[in-house]
Structure 1
Amino acid sequence: MRPRLPSLSALRAFEAAARLKSFKLAAEALSVSPTAISHQIRALEDSLSCALFVRQTRKVDLSPEGELLYAATKEGFDCIAAGIERLRTRQRSTVTLSATPAFTTKWLVPRMAAFQEAHPEIDLHIHASNQAVDLYSGAVDLAIRYGLGSYHDLLATRLLQDHFAPVASKQLHIRQLSDLNLHPLIHFNWHSPPPAHLTWAGWLQNAGISNLDSTAGIRYSEESHAIQAALAGQGVALLSLELVREEIAMGLLEAPLTPVVEGLAYHLIRPALKQAAAAVTIVEEWLIQAAGTHPKENSGLHQ
């Protein structure tokens, strides 16, 4: 039969005082009064019929009996703490989300602190790539893709409808279409053929401009680099207004020219033939809420 143990609160008070060599510091660590610590330890000594501390004017030292009990309580509390940490680790979930580097940098990263605060039990891993991933491989749980929203064997929920327009630093003072002749055009490489109206050639045609070389200017391999170039005042870029929403709101960039043309849409993608884990569903619902949209789900299942 297991012997009756002293109260856990008394043992906790003793362990803190023994570790810190001070009743006062132990009281601060446990958020109680020094008097409470003293009473707990005195009751523990009475129950064990021995002195656990050698009390001095400004400090306390452990007695031989106290040294023996401290070794046992320290090991016990360390073991409890390790067990609780293992339990917490087992309860955590990991979700991997794939998105383009530009969307990751400009939309996801600024929102990650809010996600972690709302769901500290989920470790969200971001896979930034322009390449489409296989959502049935098990390596990635969700993806955000830019397109029309029709994907084979996948469910697509539209997050954001995109729009494009010429964007420039306010320092360039772009006010009318003729101002485009005064600054370089900034281009970026799409990783799949873009709709014609989302290129400078298509936009200039829609704007009725025929005297400007749509191929001239500065070209970057990544969309995020084109955004940085516009911020640096290097020229005028035809950009996703969704990705530069914050910079426009802060007055760092402006989109003063029309037409504003509709782009494609960002869709949240998950497997249609695979049951989503609870943590994946939580991430999915949080992203939809963060985007401020209502689910508009299209099944890519082919019968």
Structure 2
Amino acid sequence: MRRLPPLAAVRVFEAAARHLNFTAAAAELGMTQAAVSYQVKALEAHLGIALFRRDGRGIQLTPAGERAAPQVARGFDALDAAFARLRSESESALTVSTTQTFANTWLAWRLGGFQVVNPAMAVRLVASDAITDFARDEVDVAIRAGRGPWPGLERHLLFQVDFTPMCSPDFLARQGGLIMPADIVRLPMISANDPWWPHWLREAGVELDENGDRPGVRLDVQSHEGHAAMAGQGIALLTPFLWQTELAAGRLVRLSDQLSTRGFGYWLVYPEERRMVPKIKRFREWLLAEIARERHDPPRAAPATGQAAG
């Protein structure tokens, strides 16, 4: 039989220990400062030991409080993860986490197709470059860029991340309709300090001085870089698979046949023990089929007059 103190008081202690401020703990818990103080005193009375000491500057943990606080915090983390997992088991909703680039250039445009064949399911897309923590985040599956492997996660390679320079047709026309690899370094390069630029140029036979900052627009994700290129702001280093629609529509043109890679890929991942959860299985089958279909039968590209071969 467990001899636990009142959980309401323990919850207040955890928040107060984390903030070292009764007022901040009260705001987080939706209580008054007086109620927080009361619960802490009740817990101390129950245990027969002081957990906080009060001084003119506020509150500090006693040695006993310092020993207890991290263990209590881990306990609440475990409870939160357990109930998050139960919430995510619902077949009526699927939460997908992926990078801003993959969400904006590919997945958000096609996710409705999964919804059509699963009309009873609500699908939530979380676009974030932060790595999903399946133990804490309410996420069913994630699509992430990297090399892997990730311990405890099932993974499926979707496609390799390769890259090549692209720009808008208008930008190309302003340069006389032809841009050779050696020309790129004297033209506006979008995110010119991206470490993948020297890699691609070197493979194209062009050396780029990597010392110091270079002028130009600097953006944080490829989806922004591609849109800046379409707006005629310069040349961006992009992954062709993610921009097939824009290439086919003539909003972007490739400047070279050369593709470079650094060994990264996009992967579908989820906890190993959840591989047979029906909603995850349905999403996995749909996504892998969509990727395979587009790799086999990409949108037909518009003619690209004046492109240079790499």
| Number of aligned positions between the proteins | 196
Contact 1:98 1:128 in 2 (8 A): yes
Contact 1:189 1:222 in 2 (8 A): no
Task: Quote the residue 1:206 is aligned against.
Answer: 203
C-alpha deviation, 1:179, in angstroms: 3.0
Q: Deviations over 1:116-172 (max 9, x none)?
A: 211111111111100001123361010001112311111101112222001111122
Task: Quote the residue 2:253 is aligned against.
Answer: 254
Contact 2:165 2:256 in 1 (8 A): yes
**3-state SS of paired residue (1:95):** strand
Contact 1:154 1:269 in 2 (8 A): yes
**3-state SS of paired residue (1:267):** strand
Contact 1:187 1:220 in 2 (8 A): yes
Task: Quote the residue 1:170 is aligned against.
Answer: 169
2:284 is the counterpart of 1:284 = yes
Question: 2: CA distance between counterparts of 1:279 and 1:233?
Answer: 42
Structure showing greater Rg: 1
**3-state SS of paired residue (1:270):** strand
Question: 1: CA distance between counterparts of 2:132 and 2:91?
Answer: 24
- Residue 153 to residue 211, structure 1, CA distance change in 2 (3 Å): closer
Contact 2:162 2:240 in 1 (8 A): yes
Which has the larger displacement, 181-190 or 231-240?
Answer: 181-190
Supply the RMSD in Å over aligned alpha carbons: 2.4
Q: Deviations over 1:171-226 (max 9, x none)?
A: 22243223314521111888xxxxx5xx1122222222136678422211232211
AA aligned to 1:205 is R
AA aligned to 1:158 is L
Task: Quote the residue 1:147 is aligned against.
Answer: 146
Which has the larger displacement, 102-111 or 166-175?
Answer: 166-175
Question: 1: CA distance between counterparts of 2:203 and 2:209?
Answer: 13
Task: Quote the residue 2:114 is aligned against.
Answer: 115
Higher relative contact order (CA 8 A, sep 6+): 1
Question: 2: CA distance between counterparts of 1:212 and 1:234?
Answer: 22
C-alpha deviation, 1:110, in angstroms: 0.9
**3-state SS of paired residue (1:126):** strand
Percent identity of the aligned residues? 31
Contact 1:188 1:220 in 2 (8 A): no
Residue ranges of structure 2 left out of the alignment (5+ in a row)? 1-89, 173-177, 294-310
Contact 2:140 2:270 in 1 (8 A): yes
Query: Normalization by structure 1: what TM-score?
Result: 0.59
- Residue 222 to residue 162, structure 1, CA distance change in 2 (3 Å): closer
Question: 1: CA distance between counterparts of 2:108 and 2:255?
Answer: 27
Contact 1:189 1:220 in 2 (8 A): no
Which has the larger displacement, 136-145 or 100-109?
Answer: 136-145
2:184 is the counterpart of 1:180 = yes
Structure 1 runs of 4+ with >2 Å offset: 172-175, 210-215, 273-277
Contact 1:188 1:222 in 2 (8 A): no
C-alpha deviation, 1:261, in angstroms: 0.8
Contact 2:201 2:208 in 1 (8 A): no
